[in-house]
């Protein structure tokens, strides 16, 4: 009897999950069908949809790039780091300070330049900051954003996270919320709370697509090249180097890694540095792409990054990249049905919650193989 | 003789220490200190008597509201281990639903959006029920998730609520033919009567107004604000009583069992999911009520009032006091409001009173530059100018330090007995001095006594 009960119960649990999956599946098919029919009949403009997809991919690349770091620390240190979004902002400010300094040397004094013109003393347009006009300034900024953030994140680990590393995921999570809050307002203290424009306009190429144009600017291209190169770099680092092997071993089983002689503390350090560096460059690229910088864009990005990481499965960098693209494209595609842009973020969060409910281990099966 | 006095002194000391051990005494001392310090600050700032009393009233109001939400959160996290970081969302739902129900049907003047025009008590009940239902919607699917996923789901929910309220789409809509609206980013204005009128229109209230006028020189508005704060304190006591009763009931014991070891509770035949859903809904409804009481007298509300900051404040208060302790939640709210929330502003005013600070440089660069030539004045001025920014830094640092030094908070010792009968009152001789045969299961610090 009891086995029958068990089977019935299992069936019931299974059916509720499958029911949810069914509902989501039907919804997805309905939306897709509507999209195809709409495109075929001309209700939805093909070029507009293509623009949404392109924007979504670009946005998704940023989320994915930042997500790699979050995913790595999540799986190796076992906690959800709520300060990661503010690492993104910090990196952007570090990098753009250098870009302004290089591009504006002699035009304005050093202080305002390094602080990215806190009182709007100069603007990016005045300094003519763009990948085409001032490539060296942009590349220097990108490099500094990565390196300086990596070191900065290491410092924060030493001060805030290392002392409580052994006390489990939740205390670390709460600590990270405190770090996020403190860091965000330190940024306001140093860089001020004003929003400023950072770039001059750049040339772009227009592609004709049936009923309109899709335009790809020089900064869009820079974002794609830089993000893909960094993602490939991380892939080779994890797959080909000894450090990568050690990282994968640690995320798999920390104690086992320790007894095998892997210097876990050193691996943790490298994890923070790689994750922080990627977060910093993602922040820099985001500002290059959108052309504005403010003190809380990283925090606002954080939940989207979480959404991407959870969607892809924690611990998988490919999952984070894929999740980022899904979130980015999904957010922008939502504007086909829900115009105005009020609902893009809501769509992303709902996507994440759905994935959590249907497949908590993420689309990439929760394989913690970095 | 002298031996006798020292014995007496030590006796006195142990008595005092025993007294200090009691949470109620700690709370009393802490609150007395808070009020005294703020009264002294008021004096130092040259406030008149009504100014000082008004300062203390504002403190009381804030402590009462934060105390309510912290107690509700304690029910979630402290007792059941549900990591809810979407507190602001549930508060928002409570307040918005109440306002939408209470606003008159015909919008007049500056109040653009119509409501249902229901009487206040029904509107409040509606808001509380709505917050509870929202909790149910989140809880049923999300409770299967790990604590950290649950946390992310709740904060995402709170953001969905806030962004949904901000969006233009729900600005005005109709349900079954009745027009309603959230007002979008512009929010809702209160164009119904003061919700406290039930009390203010009482005969006895006019003598309260006279009394406060005679004692502190209060006008009618200040008297009303004082009465409102007193009502909030009474509600806080009600919250405390309710949650204390809940946690001491058989229901509460199951909650603690879930917190300590959910599988063990399941193995004892408890349907832990049902318990978790019930307690989550209860806590969310209470958060909704606190949200309503927090702002329903103000002239209006916008969605920015429910940014994740609010949740962060409540968590700091909870962690200061110690998760799992109701007295701790109240104490934590008091300390949070007095030291971290209101403190920096008063310190700034005090400094302004004592020294003339002068013009601050308007950028950080202008502040740091002179430091190189050993001139700290511009930096200090800049710091002073940005005091309120640094207040948030202070809050973040405080949370990090608490997690480092006192993760259990001030009163969060969590040594509640799980047994229904009192164990501590038995004379020592009966229990015996030897180790119990059951082994050393008390070292987990849970409910294992």
A79 and A173 in contact (C-beta within 8 Å)? Answer: yes
State the Cα–Cα distance between residues B76 and B150, nearest whole angstrom: 12
- What's the mean pLDDT in B49-62? 93
CB contact under 8 A, A80 and B157: no
- B397 Cα to chain A: minimum distance (Å): 6
**Residue B12 placed within a domain:** no
pLDDT for residue B439? 38
Chain B within 8 Å of A184 (Cβ-Cβ)?
yes
**Residue B427 placed within a domain:** no
| A-interface mutation test, from B85, B137, B144, B148, most A Cβ less than 10 A away | B148
Distances (CA, A) of A216 to A135, A222, A227, B265: 18, 10, 16, 58
Distances (CA, A) of B231 to A159, B60, B293: 44, 11, 10
Distances (CA, A) of A69 to A18, A196, B73: 33, 27, 31
**Residue B445 placed within a domain:** no
A336 and A56 in contact (C-beta within 8 Å)? Answer: no
* pLDDT of B375 strictly over 50: yes
Q: Which residues contact B303 (CB under 8 A, 6 or more apart)?
A: B92, B162, B163, B165, B166, B185, B187
CB contact under 8 A, A190 and B407: no
CB contact under 8 A, A182 and B396: yes
| B-interface mutation test, from A302, A308, A342, most B Cβ less than 10 A away | A342
Q: Which pair of structure tokens corresponds to residue A364?
A: 């990439």
Closest listed residue to residue B83, CA positions, set B269, B328, B283:
B283
Provide the total of helices (H) and of strands (E) in chain A, helices listed first. Answer: 14, 4
CB contact under 8 A, B400 and A350: no
- What's the mean pLDDT in B406-429? 65
Taking phi over 0 as left and psi of -120 to 50 as alpha, with beta for the rest, B188 belongs to beta
Chain B within 8 Å of A108 (Cβ-Cβ)?
no
Rounded to 5°, the CA angle B327-A80-A345 comes to: 100
pLDDT for residue B219? 86
ipTM of the complex as predicted: 0.89
pLDDT for residue B435? 43
pLDDT for residue A61? 96
Closest to B397 (Cβ–Cβ): which among A178, A350, A356? A178
Q: Which residues contact B412 (CB under 8 A, 6 or more apart)?
A: B78, B321, B322, B323, B324, B325, B328
DSSP structural state of residue A131? T
pLDDT band at B418, cuts 50/70/90? low
Q: Which residues contact A275 (CB under 8 A, 6 or more apart)?
A: A68, A69, A70, A72, A73, A84, A153
Q: Which helix (H) or strand (E) holds A333?
A: helix A317-337
CB contact under 8 A, B386 and A79: no
How large is the C-alpha radius of gyration of chain A? 22
CB contact under 8 A, A175 and B400: yes
**Residue B421 placed within a domain:** no
Closest to A118 (Cβ–Cβ): which among B315, B319, B363? B363
pLDDT for residue B432? 44
Strand partners, A214: A207
- A285 Cα to chain B: minimum distance (Å): 25
Residue with tokens 């409102």: B228
- Using 50 as the pLDDT threshold, list the residues of chain A that sit under it: 1, 368-370
CB contact under 8 A, A356 and B369: no
B167: chain A residues, CB-CB within 8 Å: 340, 342-343, 346
pLDDT for residue B95? 95
Residue with tokens 């019931």: A12
Question: What's the structural domain count of chain B?
Answer: 1
Interface of A with B in 193-212 (CB under 8 A): 193
User: Could you give the percent of chain B with pLDDT greater than 70?
Assistant: 89
Q: Which helix (H) or strand (E) holds B366?
A: helix B364-372
A305 and A67 in contact (C-beta within 8 Å)? Answer: yes
Closest to A171 (Cβ–Cβ): which among B151, B159, B403? B403
pLDDT tens per residue, range B389-402: 899 999 999 999 99
State the Cα–Cα distance between residues B223 and B216, nearest whole angstrom: 10
Greatest alpha-carbon span in chain B: 88
A358 and A21 in contact (C-beta within 8 Å)? Answer: yes
CB contact under 8 A, A352 and B362: no
State the Cα–Cα distance between residues A356 and A366, nearest whole angstrom: 12
* pLDDT of B442 strictly over 50: no
pTM of the model: 0.88
B399: chain A residues, CB-CB within 8 Å: 174-175, 177-178, 181
B396: chain A residues, CB-CB within 8 Å: 178-185
Closest listed residue to residue B228, CA positions, set B198, B203, B196:
B196
Q: Which of B318-327, B383-392, B431-440 has the lowest mean pLDDT?
A: B431-440
CB contact under 8 A, A349 and B156: yes
CATH classification of the domain holding B317: 1.10.3470
Q: Among all residues of chain B, which has the CA nearest to that of A109?
A: B365
pLDDT for residue A58? 96
Q: Which pair of structure tokens corresponds to residue A275?
A: 């994750």
The phi, psi pair for A217, rounded to 5°, reads -85, 170
Dihedral angle sign, alpha carbons of residues A294, A299, A305, A309: positive
More confident residue, B139 or B16: B139
CB contact under 8 A, B148 and A180: no
- A346 Cα to chain B: minimum distance (Å): 5
pLDDT tens per residue, range B94-133: 999 999 999 888 876 665 788 888 899 999 999 999 999 9
Q: Which residues contact A20 (CB under 8 A, 6 or more apart)?
A: A357, A358, B141
Closest to A310 (Cβ–Cβ): which among B152, B396, B404? B152
pLDDT for residue B14? 83
**Residue B17 placed within a domain:** no
A179: chain B residues, CB-CB within 8 Å: 396, 400
CB contact under 8 A, B168 and A342: yes
- What's the mean pLDDT in B165-193? 80
Taking phi over 0 as left and psi of -120 to 50 as alpha, with beta for the rest, B146 belongs to beta
- What's the mean pLDDT in B401-420? 76
Q: Which residues contact B166 (CB under 8 A, 6 or more apart)?
A: A342, B184, B185, B303
CB contact under 8 A, B403 and A175: yes
A171: chain B residues, CB-CB within 8 Å: 403, 407
Greatest alpha-carbon span in chain A: 86
**Residue B5 placed within a domain:** no
pLDDT for residue B447? 38
State the Cα–Cα distance between residues B73 and B314, nearest whole angstrom: 8
B328 and B23 in contact (C-beta within 8 Å)? Answer: yes
pLDDT tens per residue, range A40-54: 888 888 888 899 999
pLDDT for residue A9? 59
Strands B188-189 and A292-293: unpaired
Query: Which SS3 state, helix, strand or coil, does residue B188 take?
Result: strand
CB contact under 8 A, B386 and A177: no
Q: Which domain holds residue B405?
A: 23-415
pLDDT tens per residue, range A57-79: 999 999 999 999 999 988 888 88
Q: Among all residues of chain B, which has the CA nearest to that of A121?
A: B363
Report H helices in A115-253.
124-127, 135-156, 169-191, 218-240, 242-252
| B-interface mutation test, from A109, A174, A323, most B Cβ less than 10 A away | A174
A332 and A52 in contact (C-beta within 8 Å)? Answer: yes
State the Cα–Cα distance between residues A257 and A327, nearest whole angstrom: 34
CB contact under 8 A, A182 and B395: yes
* pLDDT of B433 strictly over 60: no
Chain B within 8 Å of A307 (Cβ-Cβ)?
yes
* pLDDT of B56 strictly over 90: yes
- B396 Cα to chain A: minimum distance (Å): 4
Closest to A177 (Cβ–Cβ): which among B386, B390, B399? B399
A306 and A80 in contact (C-beta within 8 Å)? Answer: yes
Closest listed residue to residue B403, CA positions, set A53, A330, A171:
A171
pLDDT tens per residue, range B273-308: 899 999 999 999 999 999 999 999 888 889 999 999
Q: Which helix (H) or strand (E) holds B135?
A: helix B120-142
A20: chain B residues, CB-CB within 8 Å: 141
Q: Which pair of structure tokens corresponds to residue B188?
A: 């809702």
State the Cα–Cα distance between residues B227 and A203, nearest whole angstrom: 65
Closest listed residue to residue A175, CA positions, set B18, B308, B316, B75:
B316
B101 and B116 in contact (C-beta within 8 Å)? Answer: yes
- A203 Cα to chain B: minimum distance (Å): 34
Q: Which of B9-13, B214-218, B252-256 has the lowest mean pLDDT?
A: B9-13
A80: chain B residues, CB-CB within 8 Å: 148, 151-152
B148: chain A residues, CB-CB within 8 Å: 79-80, 169-170, 173
A342: chain B residues, CB-CB within 8 Å: 163, 166-169
Rounded to the nearest 10 degrees, the angle between the axes of helix A135-156 and helix A264-290 is: 140
pLDDT for residue A366? 52
**Residue B364 placed within a domain:** yes
A174: chain B residues, CB-CB within 8 Å: 315, 319, 399, 403
CB contact under 8 A, A357 and B141: yes
**Residue B8 placed within a domain:** no
Interface of A with B in 246-285 (CB under 8 A): none
B159: chain A residues, CB-CB within 8 Å: 303, 345, 349
pLDDT for residue B240? 95
pLDDT for residue A251? 79
Q: What share of chain A is helix, strand, coil (3-state, %, to 5)?
A: 75, 5, 20
Strand partners, A209: A212
Interface of A with B in 23-82 (CB under 8 A): 79-80
């Amino acid at each position: 009897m009891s086995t029958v009960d068990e089977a019935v119960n299992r069936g019931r649990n299974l059916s509720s999950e499958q029911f949810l999956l069914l509902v989501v599946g039907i919804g997805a098919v309905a939306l897709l069908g509507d999209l195809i029919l709409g495109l075929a009949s001309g209700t939805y403009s093909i070029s507009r949809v293509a623009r949404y997809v392109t924007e979504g991919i670009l946005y998704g690349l940023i989320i994915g790039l930042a997500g790699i770091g979050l995913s790595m620390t999540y799986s190796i240190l076992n906690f959800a780091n709520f300060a990661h979004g503010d690492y993104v902002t910090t990196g952007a400010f570090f990098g753009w300070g250098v870009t302004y300094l290089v591009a504006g040397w002699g035009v304005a004094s050093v202080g305002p330049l390094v602080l990215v013109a806190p009182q709007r003393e100069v603007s990016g347009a005045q300094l003519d900051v763009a990948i085409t006009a001032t490539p060296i300034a942009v590349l220097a900024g990108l490099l500094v954003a990565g390196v300086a953030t990596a070191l900065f994140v290491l410092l924060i680990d030493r001060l805030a996270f290392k002392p409580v590393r052994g006390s489990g995921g939740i205390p670390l999570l709460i600590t990270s919320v405190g770090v996020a809050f403190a860091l965000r307002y330190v940024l306001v203290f140093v860089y001020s709370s004003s929003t400023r424009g950072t770039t001059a306009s750049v040339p772009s190429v227009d592609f004709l697509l049936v009923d309109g144009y899709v335009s790809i600017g020089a900064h869009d291209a820079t974002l794609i090249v830089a993000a893909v190169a960094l993602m490939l770099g991380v892939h080779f680092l994890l797959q080909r180097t000894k450090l990568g092997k050690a990282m994968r071993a640690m995320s798999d089983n920390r104690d086992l890694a320790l007894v095998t002689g892997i210097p876990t503390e050193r691996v943790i350090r490298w994890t923070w540095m790689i994750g922080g560096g990627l977060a910093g460059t993602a922040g820099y690229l985001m500002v290059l792409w959108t052309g504005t910088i403010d003190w809380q864009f990283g925090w606002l990005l954080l939940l989207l990054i979480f959404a991407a990481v959870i969607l892809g499965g924690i611990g998988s960098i490919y999952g984070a990249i894929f999740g980022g693209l899904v979130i980015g494209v999904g957010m922008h595609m939502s504007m086909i049905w829900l115009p105005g842009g009020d609902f893009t973020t809501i769509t992303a969060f709902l996507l994440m919650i759905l994935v959590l409910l249907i497949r908590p281990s993420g689309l990439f099966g929760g394989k913690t193989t970095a | 003789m002298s031996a006798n006095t020292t014995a007496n002194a030590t006796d006195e000391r142990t008595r005092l220490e025993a007294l200090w051990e009691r949470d109620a005494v700690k709370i009393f001392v802490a609150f007395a200190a808070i009020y005294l310090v703020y009264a002294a600050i008021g004096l130092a700032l040259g406030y008149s008597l009504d100014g000082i009393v008004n300062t203390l009233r504002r403190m009381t109001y804030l402590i009462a509201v934060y105390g309510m939400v912290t107690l509700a959160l304690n029910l979630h996290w402290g007792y059941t281990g549900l990591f809810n970081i979407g507190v602001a969302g549930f508060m928002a739902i409570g307040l918005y639903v109440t306002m939408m129900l209470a606003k008159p049907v015909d919008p007049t003047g500056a109040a653009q959006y119509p409501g249902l025009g229901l009487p206040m008590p029904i509107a409040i009940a509606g808001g509380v029920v709505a917050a509870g239902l929202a909790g149910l919607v989140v809880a049923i699917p999300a409770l299967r998730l790990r604590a950290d996923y649950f946390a992310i789901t709740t904060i995402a929910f709170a953001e969905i609520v806030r962004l949904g309220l901000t969006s233009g789409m729900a600005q005005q809509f109709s349900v079954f033919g009745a027009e309603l609206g959230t007002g979008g980013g512009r929010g809702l204005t209160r164009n119904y009567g003061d919700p406290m009128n039930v009390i203010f229109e009482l005969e006895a209230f006019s003598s309260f107004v006279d009394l406060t006028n005679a004692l502190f020189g209060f006008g009618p508005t200040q008297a009303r604000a004082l009465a409102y704060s007193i009502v909030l304190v009474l509600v806080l006591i009600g919250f405390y009583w309710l949650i204390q009763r809940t946690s001491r009931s058989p229901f509460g014991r199951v909650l603690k069992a879930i917190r300590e070891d959910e599988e063990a509770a399941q193995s004892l035949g408890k349907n832990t999911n049902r318990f978790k859903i019930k307690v989550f809904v209860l806590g969310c409804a209470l958060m909704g009520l606190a949200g309503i009481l927090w702002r329903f007298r103000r002239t209006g509300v916008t969605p920015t009032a429910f940014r994740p900051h609010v949740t962060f404040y409540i968590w700091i208060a909870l962690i200061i006091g110690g998760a799992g302790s109701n007295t701790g939640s109240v104490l934590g709210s008091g300390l949070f409001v007095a030291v971290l929330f209101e403190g920096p502003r008063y310190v700034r005013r005090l400094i302004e009173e004592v020294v003339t600070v002068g013009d601050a440089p308007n950028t950080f660069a202008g502040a740091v530059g002179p430091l190189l030539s050993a001139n700290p004045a511009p930096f200090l001025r800049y710091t002073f100018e940005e005091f309120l920014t640094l207040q948030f830094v202070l809050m973040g640092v405080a949370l990090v330090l608490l997690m480092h030094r006192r993760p259990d908070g001030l009163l969060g010792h969590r040594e509640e007995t799980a047994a229904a009968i009192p164990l501590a009152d038995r004379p020592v001789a009966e229990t015996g001095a030897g180790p119990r045969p059951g082994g050393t299961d008390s070292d987990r610090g849970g409910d294992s006594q």
